[in-house]
Structure 1
Amino acid sequence: MKCVICKNGETHHGHVTVTVEREQLIVIIKDVPAEVCSNCGEYYLSEPIAKTVLTQGEEAVKKGIEVEIRRFAA
């Protein structure tokens, strides 16, 4: 698909690092499957992947974690 941010690049399947911030919490999730723009690097998550990322962030909030780095787990 054509990137909606830069309007020049095409997206391709890849993996990205996503940072989720909420209040005093920071969760960094590595190796998240995404469509990545070949020009600007903007990434797009599918709905199921985005839900999983948000769920993992919520789990960290419930545990009272301040900073966490984890690998994506589907």
Structure 2
Amino acid sequence: MECTICKMGETKASDITVALQRGELSVLIKNVPAEVCANCGEYYLSDDIADKVLTQAEVSAAKNAEVEILRFRK
């Protein structure tokens, strides 16, 4: 698909690391499947993948974690 940010690049499937922050909590989730723009690097997550990423982050928040590094659960 064409990148909606730069309008010049095409996306391709790749695994990325997603960094999320909420207040004092920082969560890194590695190996997340995404579509990444070859030109600007912007990434796009499917609705299903985004839901899973947010669920994993919520679990970290519920544990009162401050920093957590996770692998994506497929």
| Shorter-chain TM-score above 0.5 | yes
Secondary structure in structure 2 of the residue aligned to 1:58: helix
Determine whether 1:17 maps to 2:29: no
Aligned Cα RMSD in Å?
0.5
Q: Percent identity?
A: 58
- 1:33 is aligned to 33
- Counterpart residue number, 1:56: 56
Alpha-carbon distance in 2 for matches of 1:8, 1:37: 9
Alignment size in residue pairs: 74
User: What is the deviation of 1:20?
Assistant: 1.1
Instruction: Name the TM-score, length of structure 1 as normaliser.
Output: 0.97
For structure 1, list consecutive stretches of 5 or more residues without a partner in the other structure: none
Distance in 2 between residues matched to 1:8 and 1:26, nearest whole Å: 32
Measured after TM superposition, the shift of residue 23 of structure 1 is 1.2
Secondary structure of the corresponding residue to residue 14 of structure 1: strand
| 1:11-48 per-position Cα deviation (integer Å, ceiling 9, x unaligned) | 01001110111111000001100000010110000000
